Amino acid sequence: MVKQELIFTLLEKYDWELLVVFLKLSTWKRSYNDNSICDGTQWEIKAKGDGFNIKSYGSN
Protein backbone atom coordinates (compact mmCIF):
# COMPACT_ATOMS: atom_id res chain seq x y z
CA MET A 1 0.00 0.00 0.00
CA VAL A 2 1.26 3.46 -0.86
CA LYS A 3 1.38 5.96 1.99
CA GLN A 4 -0.42 9.11 0.95
CA GLU A 5 0.44 12.40 2.58
CA LEU A 6 -1.71 15.49 2.29
CA ILE A 7 -0.10 18.83 2.96
CA PHE A 8 -2.08 21.98 2.39
CA THR A 9 -1.31 25.66 2.51
CA LEU A 10 -3.54 28.21 4.15
CA LEU A 11 -3.42 31.34 2.07
CA GLU A 12 -4.97 33.76 4.50
CA LYS A 13 -3.86 34.49 8.06
CA TYR A 14 -7.50 34.29 9.16
CA ASP A 15 -7.76 30.69 7.82
CA TRP A 16 -4.70 29.71 9.84
CA GLU A 17 -6.05 31.36 12.98
CA LEU A 18 -9.36 29.47 12.65
CA LEU A 19 -7.51 26.18 12.24
CA VAL A 20 -5.36 26.85 15.30
CA VAL A 21 -8.44 27.68 17.40
CA PHE A 22 -10.12 24.46 16.22
CA LEU A 23 -7.06 22.36 17.05
CA LYS A 24 -6.63 23.92 20.48
CA LEU A 25 -10.30 23.49 21.44
CA SER A 26 -10.64 19.93 20.11
CA THR A 27 -10.07 17.01 22.41
CA TRP A 28 -7.83 14.55 20.57
CA LYS A 29 -7.27 11.00 21.75
CA ARG A 30 -3.86 9.51 21.00
CA SER A 31 -5.48 6.89 18.76
CA TYR A 32 -8.84 6.04 17.20
CA ASN A 33 -9.46 2.43 16.20
CA ASP A 34 -12.77 0.94 15.07
CA ASN A 35 -12.63 -2.78 14.42
CA SER A 36 -16.26 -2.80 13.29
CA ILE A 37 -15.28 -0.86 10.15
CA CYS A 38 -12.77 -2.63 7.93
CA ASP A 39 -12.34 -0.30 4.96
CA GLY A 40 -8.55 -0.05 5.22
CA THR A 41 -8.58 3.67 5.97
CA GLN A 42 -5.74 4.99 8.08
CA TRP A 43 -5.03 8.59 8.97
CA GLU A 44 -2.72 10.69 11.08
CA ILE A 45 -2.65 14.31 12.20
CA LYS A 46 0.38 16.10 13.57
CA ALA A 47 0.12 19.75 14.53
CA LYS A 48 2.43 21.82 16.67
CA GLY A 49 2.22 25.45 17.59
CA ASP A 50 2.13 27.97 20.38
CA GLY A 51 0.28 26.24 23.20
CA PHE A 52 -0.49 22.93 21.51
CA ASN A 53 1.18 19.76 20.24
CA ILE A 54 -1.18 17.19 18.68
CA LYS A 55 -0.22 13.72 17.48
CA SER A 56 -3.21 11.50 16.74
CA TYR A 57 -4.00 8.62 14.36
CA GLY A 58 -6.74 6.20 13.45
CA SER A 59 -7.19 2.88 11.71
CA ASN A 60 -10.24 1.05 10.41
CA dist., res. 54 & res. 46, Å (int): 5
Total-model pTM: 0.51
Question: How does pLDDT run across 3-57, given as a tens digit for each residue?
Answer: 666 666 667 777 778 877 887 777 877 888 887 887 877 888 888 877 778 888 8
Please determine, for residue 1, whether its predicted confidence score (pLDDT) is greater than 60. no
Q: What's the pLDDT at 9? A: 66
Q: What's the pLDDT at 5? A: 66
Length of the chain in residues, anyone? 60
One-letter amino acid of 56: S
CA dist., res. 33 & res. 22, Å (int): 22
All structural domains of the chain with their residue ranges? 29-60
Q: What's the pLDDT at 58? A: 83
Q: What's the pLDDT at 30? A: 83
